[in-house]
């Protein structure tokens, strides 16, 4: 009933453990560990891509800016008994917002070649016309990064020209 060899082998293993003797890792085991860490690191970097997160944050700011713009435009329309801001008319095609005299279509694809400056109309309602987060240089100061169009039914649509993740527009 008592197995001497089993007990002796067990004692030997226990003494090796208690004396700090341990088996070294083989090259294959080390390579497997490195592979697992590499796969996990790749998944984490892909899931938490900082460039995508920054683009999402800029698009969120664009959405807030478009809502501010369209709210200010509608407040202006209400306060002036249905009159649209200067340059904005019912049935107008998409036009870049800003102070440019030309080049609006090159910055905002699909827009007219000129810009409409509605800042004097909407500044009393929002303080200053919001600017696209990527427009920071002096040459970009003539553009706001947004376009406007008004349908025949009077629905005002503001679109972000620099949206990075998807098409962003707000209509009211």
Percent with pLDDT over 90 in the chain = 54
* Rounded Cα distance, 8 and 3, in Å: 9
The reported pTM is 0.74
CB 102 within 8 A of CB 119: no
Per-residue pLDDT tens over the stretch 115-140: 899 999 999 999 988 999 988 766 56
Q: Please name every residue paired with 98 in a beta bridge, in sequence order, or none if there are none.
A: 143
3-state secondary structure of 94: coil
List the one residue out of 133, 150, 141 whose CA is nearest residue 55.
Answer: 133
pLDDT (average), residues 78-104: 90
Q: What does the pLDDT average to over 88-100?
A: 91
Biggest CA pair distance of the chain: 104
What percentage of the chain exceeds 70 in pLDDT? 83
Band of pLDDT at residue 50, cut at 50, 70 and 90: confident
């Amino acid at each position: 009933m008592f197995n001497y060899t089993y007990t002796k082998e067990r004692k030997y293993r226990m003494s090796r453990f208690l004396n700090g003797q341990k088996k070294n890792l083989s090259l294959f085991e080390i390579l497997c560990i490195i592979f697992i860490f590499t796969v996990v690191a790749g998944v984490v970097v892909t899931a938490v891509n900082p460039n995508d997160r920054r683009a999402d944050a800029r698009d969120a700011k664009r959405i807030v800016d478009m809502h501010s713009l369209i709210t200010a435009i509608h407040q202006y329309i209400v306060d002036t008994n249905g009159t649209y801001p200067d340059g904005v008319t019912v049935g107008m095609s998409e036009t870049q917002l800003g102070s440019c005299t030309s080049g609006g279509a090159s910055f905002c694809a699909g827009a007219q070649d000129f810009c409409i400056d509605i800042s004097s109309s909407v500044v009393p309602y929002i303080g200053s016309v919001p600017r696209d987060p990527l427009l920071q240089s002096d040459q970009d100061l003539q553009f706001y990064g947004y376009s406007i169009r008004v349908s025949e039914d009077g629905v005002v649509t503001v679109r972000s020209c620099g949206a990075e993740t998807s098409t962003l527009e707000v209509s009211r």
